[in-house]
């Protein structure tokens, strides 16, 4: 392919994405931010925006991990309980001792990878549906949290543990501070983008699109899916470190985050059932959900309305995807959400 043709193909891909279902989330995010800024002009001040990013960053990381799993055709319902268990156990082990911070963080990542590995192997080798396997893991971890804390966590996180979630690079002109959470979120987002451009990413989406065909083509479907679960566990661990640093330790930390992350991914146009979606749109979906909750707060709506809003978002997004899929079947050449052939391009 010549340079001119390559640029034209790239522009065509970008245009398709702008016109696709994934682009809807960017429009929605923009509209919500505009409404929030109209209701509260101070929201656009750098300090307020950075605070919003700090709070949204853990959900964005969870959405990236959930994207890997969902685009492969599976679910991971254990990430919320994993975040809660990681934070509670970290506080118990560190108990305010600075020298224990690094070993505990390393242990958290090992634990997150092991939980992901178990989820993946139970799903791929034992053929247990992932929604059941990860629901069981969610209950196991939730029970562990209750057993360890009795409803009241003990111990304390060290100040160095909380740096990533609370602090940043100070003294930046205009902005004042660039949060570490923002830098971590951007770095992992770029990493996820490059990963989806690799052969692993293309195989992951191909397996989600048609596992049997991908297997006949030589893909190791069981390992690709298992590695997606492992990445989900690692990203949930990173989210737990940010969340623990930002919000502190409670028995409820992480509660319900699995459904919020799924809501974000679906809102980003990632199709439940796998094979179609864009990781950047999933990240935008997380920001949109967080902005929507911020709007609810701005409108003084009760926090109990959030589950209802999440449910409506999932129903609307799935219905939209079904309509879009029917439209594609009627007009095969219609532009739409990226599939495995172009999602990583």
For 287-303, the pLDDT digits (tens) are 999 998 888 888 887 77
- The rounded percent of the chain whose pLDDT value lies above 70 is 86
**In angstroms, rounded to a whole number, what is the distance separating the alpha carbons of residues 142 and 83?**
10
254: left (phi over 0), alpha (psi -120 to 50) or beta: left
* pLDDT computed for residue 207 by the predictor: 93
The DSSP 8-state label assigned to residue 171 in this structure reads E
pLDDT bin (cut points 50, 70, 90) of residue 5 is low
**In angstroms, rounded to a whole number, what is the distance separating the alpha carbons of residues 278 and 28?**
16
When pLDDT is averaged across residues 2-29 and rounded to a whole number, the result is 67
**In angstroms, rounded to a whole number, what is the distance separating the alpha carbons of residues 184 and 172?**
17
8 A C-beta contact, residue 38 and residue 261: no
* pLDDT computed for residue 6 by the predictor: 63
Over 90: is that where the pLDDT of 172 sits?
no
* pLDDT computed for residue 163 by the predictor: 92
Q: Which of 11-20, 88-97, 153-162 has the lowest mean pLDDT?
A: 11-20
Nearest to 127 by CA among 8, 244, 234, 226: 226
When pLDDT is averaged across residues 5-29 and rounded to a whole number, the result is 68
**In angstroms, rounded to a whole number, what is the distance separating the alpha carbons of residues 304 and 203?**
40
Over 90: is that where the pLDDT of 15 sits?
no
Q: What is the mean pLDDT of the chain?
A: 85
Q: Which of 17-21, 48-52, 209-213, 320-324 has the lowest mean pLDDT?
A: 17-21
When pLDDT is averaged across residues 242-248 and rounded to a whole number, the result is 87
Over 50: is that where the pLDDT of 338 sits?
no
The DSSP element (H or E) to which 52 belongs, if any, is: helix 46-71
pLDDT bin (cut points 50, 70, 90) of residue 252 is confident
* pLDDT computed for residue 328 by the predictor: 62
**In angstroms, rounded to a whole number, what is the distance separating the alpha carbons of residues 327 and 7?**
29
Between the alpha carbon of residue 62 and those of residues 133, 149, 175, 263, 287, the distances in Å are 18, 24, 26, 11, 12
**In angstroms, rounded to a whole number, what is the distance separating the alpha carbons of residues 164 and 287?**
19
Nearest to 230 by CA among 56, 322, 114, 92: 114
Establish how many alpha carbons lie within 13 A of residue 149's alpha carbon, considering only the half-sphere containing its beta carbon.
26
168-172 vs 176-179, strand pairing mode: antiparallel
pLDDT bin (cut points 50, 70, 90) of residue 333 is very low
Instruction: Name the H helices within 268-335.
Output: 279-298, 306-330
Tell me, rounded to whole angstroms, the distance of Cα 38 from its chain centroid: 28
Over 70: is that where the pLDDT of 31 sits?
yes
pLDDT bin (cut points 50, 70, 90) of residue 203 is very high
pLDDT bin (cut points 50, 70, 90) of residue 86 is very high
Q: Which of 15-19, 26-30, 94-98 has the lowest mean pLDDT?
A: 15-19
Q: pTM value?
A: 0.87
* pLDDT computed for residue 324 by the predictor: 66
**In angstroms, rounded to a whole number, what is the distance separating the alpha carbons of residues 310 and 263?**
6
Per-residue model confidence as pLDDT tens digits over 209-222 = 888 998 888 889 99
Distant-in-sequence, close-in-space partners of 276: CB < 8 Å, separation ≥ 6: 71, 205, 208, 209, 270, 337, 338, 339, 340, 343
Q: Which domains does the chain have, with CATH numbers?
A: 20-325 (1.10.3470)
Q: Which of 45-54, 73-82, 184-193, 324-333 has the lowest mean pLDDT?
A: 324-333
The DSSP 8-state label assigned to residue 271 in this structure reads P
The DSSP 8-state label assigned to residue 128 in this structure reads -
Over 70: is that where the pLDDT of 273 sits?
yes
What residues does 179 pair with on adjacent strands?
168
**In angstroms, rounded to a whole number, what is the distance separating the alpha carbons of residues 77 and 65?**
11
Q: At what angle do helices 180-197 and 199-209 cross, to 10 degrees?
A: 70
8 A C-beta contact, residue 58 and residue 183: no
The DSSP 8-state label assigned to residue 270 in this structure reads P
Structure tokens at 249: 């330790």
Most confident among 24-38, 99-113, 288-302 (mean pLDDT):
99-113
């Amino acid at each position: 392919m010549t340079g001119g043709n390559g640029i034209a193909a790239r522009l065509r891909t970008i245009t398709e994405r702008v016109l696709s279902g994934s682009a809807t989330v960017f429009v929605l995010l923009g509209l919500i931010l505009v409404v929030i800024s109209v209701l509260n002009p101070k929201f656009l001040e750098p300090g307020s925006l950075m605070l919003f990013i700090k709070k949204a960053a853990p959900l964005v990381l969870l959405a990236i991990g959930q994207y890997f799993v969902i685009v492969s055709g599976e679910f991971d319902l254990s990430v919320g309980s994993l975040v809660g268990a990681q934070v509670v156990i970290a506080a118990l082990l560190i108990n305010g001792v600075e020298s224990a911070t690094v070993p505990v963080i390393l242990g958290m990542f090992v634990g997150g990878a092991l939980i992901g590995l178990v989820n993946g192997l139970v799903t791929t080798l034992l053929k247990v549906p992932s929604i059941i396997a990860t629901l069981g893991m969610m209950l196991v971890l939730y029970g562990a949290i209750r057993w360890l804390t009795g409803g009241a966590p003990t111990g304390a996180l060290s100040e160095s543990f909380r740096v990533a979630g609370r602090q940043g690079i100070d003294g930046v002109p205009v902005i004042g501070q660039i949060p570490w959470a923002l830098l971590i979120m951007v770095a992992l987002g770029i990493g996820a983008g490059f990963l989806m451009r690799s052969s692993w990413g293309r195989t992951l989406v191909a397996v989600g699109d048609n596992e049997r065909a991908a297997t006949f083509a030589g893909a190791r479907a069981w390992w690709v899916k298992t590695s997606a679960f492992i990445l989900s566990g690692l990203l949930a661990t990173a989210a737990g470190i940010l969340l623990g640093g930002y919000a502190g330790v409670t028995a409820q930390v992480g509660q319900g985050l699995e459904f919020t992350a799924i809501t974000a991914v679906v809102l980003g146009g990632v199709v439940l059932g796998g094979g179609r979606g864009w990781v950047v749109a999933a990240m935008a979906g997380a920001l949109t959900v967080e902005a929507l909750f911020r709007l609810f707060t701005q409108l003084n709506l009760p926090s109990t309305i959030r589950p209802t809003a999440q449910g409506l978002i999932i129903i609307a997004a799935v219905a939209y995807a079904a309509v879009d899929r029917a439209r594609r079947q009627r007009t095969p050449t219609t532009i739409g959400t990226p599939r495995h052939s172009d999602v990583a391009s």
